[in-house]
Amino acid sequence: MTIVIIAGGQGTRLWPLSRPEQPKHLLSLINEDSLLQNTISRVESLTNSIYIVPEASHVEDVKKQLPKYKNNIITEPTRRGTAHCILFALAELKNKIKPDEVIVFLHADHHIGDIDSFKETVEATVKASKEMNKITLIGVAPDYPATGFGYIKTGKEVTNEDGLPILSVEKFVEKPDAKTARTYFKSKKYLWNLGLFAGSINTFEAEIKKSNKDLWKRYNQLFNKDAIKKYMKFPNEPIDTALIEKVKDLVVVPGHFDWADVGSFKDLYEILRNGDSNVHKGKVYDIDSKESLVIADKKPIITIGLDNLIVIDTPEGILVCPKDKCQLVKDGVEKLNSKK
């Protein structure tokens, strides 16, 4: 198998820790290693064929963090959404790997808890994709009725790989409201859509050609001499709507591992809390606070009586917000940028 790690994104939801010039996958948020380094560590034992796809402005940072992989970097010329990032990777790999070798696409900014179970799921996904010649997704059973993730409705069991069922995909559902999410959670027929999937170059090319003629046209432009110039003019489009949701015959492997996309400070709090009420990083001196995340980058912070608050202090900016409002951080950053 070949593993491709998508290392893009602007990281505005974790401002001021994460910013366009320093996106979250390059940050050491969970432990001493960055999210990107953690992603590499959990899959290195699966294959020697690992590639990273950063946006051009972050290539040098990736090389510094992953010197071992400096020759396995596929540089995306500019951000054009996951659809074109993946097209670019496929085009670059066409002369480097066999056309029937299964490629697993992962994200650099995800947090995985049970690594052994995750690796078993990846191996089962690769086997299923190879045997069935299908794009094969990875999902996880919901831990709670989340409204912030997309869902995959599963159908019947198609086959079985190493004890893991391979299920048909009935449909995709965008982020549901709270009532609908509770229904999905109780039904046991829905998985969180992690945006992780596998398939060979042959399989992806066949599905792109069949499912999205415009995407197929743009893919073929990547083999021309002016490929970079063409790429700069591509629209910004996610792979889900451009391809995955258009494919008629998909299967999914339900993984059983802890997963978070570290998409908000609430996510970060839940990952780091380890049973504690408060999470403190840096020089934080607290009295009588509860359920709060406080990060002090340089200066000491004294907190008194906080209740479900996020406090982040860095040289680039300060964030203070209720934990249940942290999904609005992106809106705050947009407001900040509009005033510059």
Q: Please tell me the predicted confidence (pLDDT) of residue 8.
A: 85
Predicted model pTM: 0.93
Q: Are residues 143 and 191 in the same domain?
A: yes
Question: What is the Cα–Cα distance from 110 to 306, expressed in whole angstroms?
Answer: 29
Above 80 in pLDDT, residue 167? yes
Boundary residue ending a domain (233, 260, 287) = 260
10 pLDDT higher than 80: no
Residue 105: pLDDT band (50, 70, 90) is very high
Tell me the mean pLDDT in the region 107-131.
Answer: 96
E strand or H helix that includes residue 69: none
Q: How many domains does the chain have?
A: 2
- Mean pLDDT value across residues 56-62: 95
Examine the pLDDT at 156 and tell me if it is beyond 80: yes
φ/ψ region of 329 (left if φ > 0, alpha if ψ in -120 to 50, else beta) reads alpha
For residue 68, pLDDT over 90 is answered with: yes
Band of pLDDT at residue 340, cut at 50, 70 and 90: low
Q: Does 31 map to a domain?
A: yes
Residue 270 lies in a domain: no
pLDDT score of 135? 98
Residues 282-312: tens digit of each pLDDT: 999 999 999 999 999 989 999 999 999 999 9
> Could you list the residue range(s) of the whole structural domain that residue 293 is in?
276-338
Can you point out the beta strands (E) in the chain?
2-7, 50-54, 102-107, 111-112, 136-140, 151-161, 164-173, 190-200, 251-255, 259-260, 279-281, 284-287, 293-296, 301-304, 309-314, 317-322
Average pLDDT of the segment spanning 79-103: 97
Instruction: State whether 243 and 306 are in the same domain.
Output: no
The pLDDT tens digits of the residues spanning 246-256 come to 999 999 999 99
**CB atoms inside a 10 Å sphere around CB 107:** 20
What DSSP string describes 92-105? HHTTTS-TTSEEEE
Q: 283 and 245 in one domain?
A: no
In-domain check, residue 269? no
Residue 275 binned pLDDT confidence (cut-offs 50, 70, 90):
confident
